[in-house]
């Protein structure tokens, strides 16, 4: 009876996602310890981590994993991704709970989010209120990764470029990054065949409209490119004005947007404009699409979605797996001196 009962419990645990294999749990624990030591060494900045550095990294990862019911090995991977790209393990540790909540709230991969955050932080450089800007931009990226054709793992690679370009546009940096992300999504509708091509198209927008030949065409069609302070206008407004001035005609648009790569976002918008019949209806359709793609998931929605996700069997199984993994690790550590 006891054997049968044990089999039932083991089968039930496996069915809800709890790892019941001792060797598997032990191997996961060993991988976790290796990851923690590696990230601590990477972030030490002094040739090697001290036991205190390793303990700090482990505590940060385990605490964030518990707070967000995220697999602790994945959380260690997120810290490793952020630290390897920025060299800033302290900010990485401080950001882990935010990464975990946002990942669970949006159904995205926590390592991909950490990579995107690192790229944004690097691209921004030394700016005031950097942590807030990174978090706000990350909420946009997570939303765009869900709604568009360019997934967050691909957007993450290019967010540094968007962040560095944001300073050239009117408005806040996070708004500019959101718009460039939206342009990358539109580029997939305008002929970009890969995420890298779409991101490049968006990232080069300001450079390409500054060309002398392009400037003459913009003047010809009466489309304004710059504000009085010399910053580039909101790309969405430039594109919409260009569509209105040309009636969505592809040949005329090519006169202003001369670069084949950066033109793809414009052509994506033109497709939406023309499909809606052009004119005011076309303009409204393009604005609606851009508004959808530029919107971030609010902090309130993140919290609500996170709480909902944290109550799922998947989250509870991840939480239990973490605790079992630690207990098995403690048992193995206790046996090691005997050998």
Rounded to 10 deg, the angle between the 195-203 and 263-275 helix axes is 100
Nearest Cα residue to 117 out of 74, 151, 70, 83: 83
Give the CA distances from residue 188 to residues 157, 161, 184, 191, 316, in Å, rounded to whole numbers and listed in that order. 16, 18, 7, 6, 37
Residue 222 has φ and ψ, to the nearest 5°, of 70, 35
Pairwise CA distance, residues 28 & 140, whole Å: 33
Q: Which residues are bridge partners to 232 per DSSP?
A: 169, 226
What is the Cα–Cα distance from 224 to 250, expressed in whole angstroms?
Answer: 19
Distance between CA 155 and CA 221 in Å, rounded? 33
Q: Give the chain's largest Cα–Cα span.
A: 87
Where would I find the H helices in the chain? 2-15, 22-44, 51-68, 72-86, 89-106, 110-124, 130-147, 152-165, 173-189, 195-203, 205-209, 212-221, 235-246, 250-256, 263-275, 279-294, 299-310, 313-335
pLDDT digits (tens, 9 = 90+) for 7-40: 433 444 455 456 668 788 889 999 999 999 999 9
Q: Specify whether the CB–CB gap between 149 and 190 falls below 8 A.
A: no
Supply 329's token pair.
């690790």
CA 193 – CA 191 distance, rounded (Å) = 6
Q: Take residue 147 and report the two structure tokens written for it.
A: 């709604």
Pick from 210, 211, 142: nearest CA to 181:
142
Helix, strand or coil, per DSSP, at residue 145: helix
Tens digits of pLDDT across the chain (339 residues): 433 433 433 444 455 456 668 788 889 999 999 999 999 999 987 778 999 999 999 999 999 999 999 999 999 999 999 999 999 999 999 999 999 999 999 888 999 999 989 988 998 888 888 888 888 888 888 888 777 777 777 777 778 888 888 889 999 888 888 899 899 889 989 988 888 888 888 888 888 888 888 999 999 999 999 999 999 999 999 999 999 999 999 999 999 999 888 899 999 999 999 999 999 999 999 999 999 988 878 889 999 999 999 999 999 999 999 999 999 988 888 776 654
CA atoms within 13 A on the CB side of 6: 4
pTM: 0.78
- pLDDT for residue 17: 58
3-class SS of residue 296: coil
Distance CA 136, CA 116 (A): 12
Q: How many CB atoms lie within 10 A of CB 178?
A: 26
Bridge partners, 231 (sequence order): none
């Amino acid at each position: 009876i006891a054997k049968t009962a044990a089999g039932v419990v083991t089968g039930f645990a496996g069915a809800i996602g709890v790892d019941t294999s001792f060797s598997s749990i032990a191997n996961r624990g060993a991988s976790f310890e290796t990851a923690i030591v590696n990230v601590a060494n990477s972030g030490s900045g002094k040739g090697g981590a001290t036991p205190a550095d390793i303990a700090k990294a482990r505590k940060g990862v385990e605490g964030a994993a518990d707070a967000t019911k995220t697999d602790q090995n994945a959380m260690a991977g997120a810290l490793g991704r952020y630290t390897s790209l920025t060299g800033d393990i302290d900010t990485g540790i401080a950001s882990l709970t935010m990464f975990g909540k946002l990942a669970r709230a949006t159904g995205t991969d926590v390592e991909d989010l950490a990579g995107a955050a690192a790229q944004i932080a690097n691209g921004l450089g030394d700016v005031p209120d950097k942590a807030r800007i990174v978090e706000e931009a990350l909420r946009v990226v997570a939303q765009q990764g869900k709604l568009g054709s360019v997934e967050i793992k691909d957007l993450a690679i290019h967010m540094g470029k968007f962040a560095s370009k944001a300073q050239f546009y009117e408005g806040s940096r996070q708004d500019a990054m959101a718009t460039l992300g939206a342009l990358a999504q539109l580029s997939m509708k305008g002929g970009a065949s890969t995420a890298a091509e779409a991101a490049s198209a968006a990232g080069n927008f300001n450079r390409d409209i500054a060309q002398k030949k392009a400037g003459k065409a913009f003047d010809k069609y009466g489309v304004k490119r710059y504000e009085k302070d010399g910053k580039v206008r909101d790309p969405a407004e430039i594109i919409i004005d260009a569509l209105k001035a040309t009636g969505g005609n592809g040949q005329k648009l090519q006169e202003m947007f001369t670069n084949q790569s950066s033109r793809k976002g414009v052509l994506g918008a033109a497709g939406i404009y023309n499909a809606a019949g052009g004119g005011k209806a076309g303009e409204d359709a393009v604005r609606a699409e851009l508004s959808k793609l530029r919107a971030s998931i609010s902090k309130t929605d993140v919290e609500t979605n996170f709480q909902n996700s944290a109550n799922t069997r998947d989250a509870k199984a991840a939480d239990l797996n973490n605790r079992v993994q630690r207990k098995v690790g403690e048992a193995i550590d206790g046996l090691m001196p005997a050998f």
